[in-house]
């Protein structure tokens, strides 16, 4: 991010976005869309976050498109955060971890989004495999969807919210790591003042919600406070809507990265 700019671009091939690009909502449209984004941005954007669901809906052929995109993005020096939000227990969680965090797996990614709401301890197989293979996790903590509050802001018997508990677990995972640990939280950029939460987990904070969801780079300092230096701001439609023109995609990504850099430095 220091080299390429502080930005994560989501690869979210919604049916409506494919249509806006003049593409059919089929595997060929998916492949053209994905290839265009990868070719235009892989060499200049720091981080990409493909949303697995939009590829999975086309079955094995859609997953094959995702596999190629992940390999090409990483081959171009970018980081890949697989947005799959996996969460389960025991051997099932271990199998999910092997899908995305084992180096010889076709979908091996630099990090994976995971859901801790079967209990943080249920993530242990993913935590262990990420540590072994130099990868990371982004754990759902304070998500931007309104429904999330009923679970994430629920108060436990010890007086802490569920979200605060997850953040505390991540701080423990990252203790003593420099310059940052590899276990981060997903925290929505649309949530306003979060000063009641300790977001300084000594790890990265993946921040969706910039662009189409209403947040702007200028909002980041107010939302994240001193932890803003660790934010990985994600923009999806705000960049992708400028396609299929490659130059327009690059210009949009560059503008967002410049705006984030200015906001964080101010």
Catalytic residues: 85
Burial readout 184-218 (b: 16 or more C-beta within 10 A, e: otherwise): bbbbbbbbeebeebebbbbbbbbbbbbbebebbbe
Tokens for 33?
A: 């869309």
Of 70, 58, 61, the C-alpha closest to 15 is 58
Q: How many CA atoms lie within 13 A of 194 on its CB side?
A: 31
Contact predicate 83/129, CB 8 Å: no
Cα angle, residue 46 at apex, residues 243 and 207 outer, rounded to 5° = 85
Give 3-state DSSP helix, strand, coil % of the chain, rounded to 5.
45, 20, 35
Q: From CA 18, how far away is CA 259, in angstroms rounded?
A: 27
Hey, what are 73's tokens? 């993005």
Torsion of CA 60, 20, 37, 246, to 10 degrees: 150
**77 φ/ψ sector (left φ>0, alpha ψ -120 to 50, else beta):** left
């Amino acid at each position: 991010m220091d080299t390429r700019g502080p930005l994560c671009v989501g690869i979210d091939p919604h049916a409506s976005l494919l249509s806006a690009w003049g593409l059919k909502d089929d595997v060929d449209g998916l492949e053209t869309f994905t290839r265009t984004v990868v070719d235009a941005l892989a060499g200049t954007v720091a981080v990409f976050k493909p949303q697995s669901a939009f590829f999975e809906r086309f079955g094995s052929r859609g997953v094959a498109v995702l596999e190629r995109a992940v390999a090409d993005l990483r081959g171009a020096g970018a980081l890949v955060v697989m947005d799959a939000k996996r969460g389960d227990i025991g051997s099932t969680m271990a199998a999910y971890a092997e899908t995305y965090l084992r180096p010889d797996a076709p979908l091996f990614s630099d990090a994976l989004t995971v859901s801790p709401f079967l209990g943080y301890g249920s993530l242990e197989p993913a935590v262990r495999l990420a540590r072994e293979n130099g990868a990371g996790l982004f754990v759902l903590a304070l998500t931007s969807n309104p429904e999330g509050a009923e679970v994430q802001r629920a108060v436990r018997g010890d007086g802490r919210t569920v979200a605060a508990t997850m953040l505390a677990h991540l701080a423990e995972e990252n203790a003593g790591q420099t310059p940052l640990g590899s276990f981060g939280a997903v925290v929505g950029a649309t949530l306003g003042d979060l000063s009641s939460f300790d977001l300084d987990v000594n790890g990265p904070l993946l921040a969706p919600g910039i662009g189409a969801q209403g947040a702007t780079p200028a909002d980041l300092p107010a939302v994240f406070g001193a932890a803003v230096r660790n934010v990985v701001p994600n923009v999806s439609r705000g960049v992708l809507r400028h396609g299929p023109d490659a130059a327009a995609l690059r210009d949009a990504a560059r503008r967002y990265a410049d705006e984030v850099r200015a906001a964080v430095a101010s």
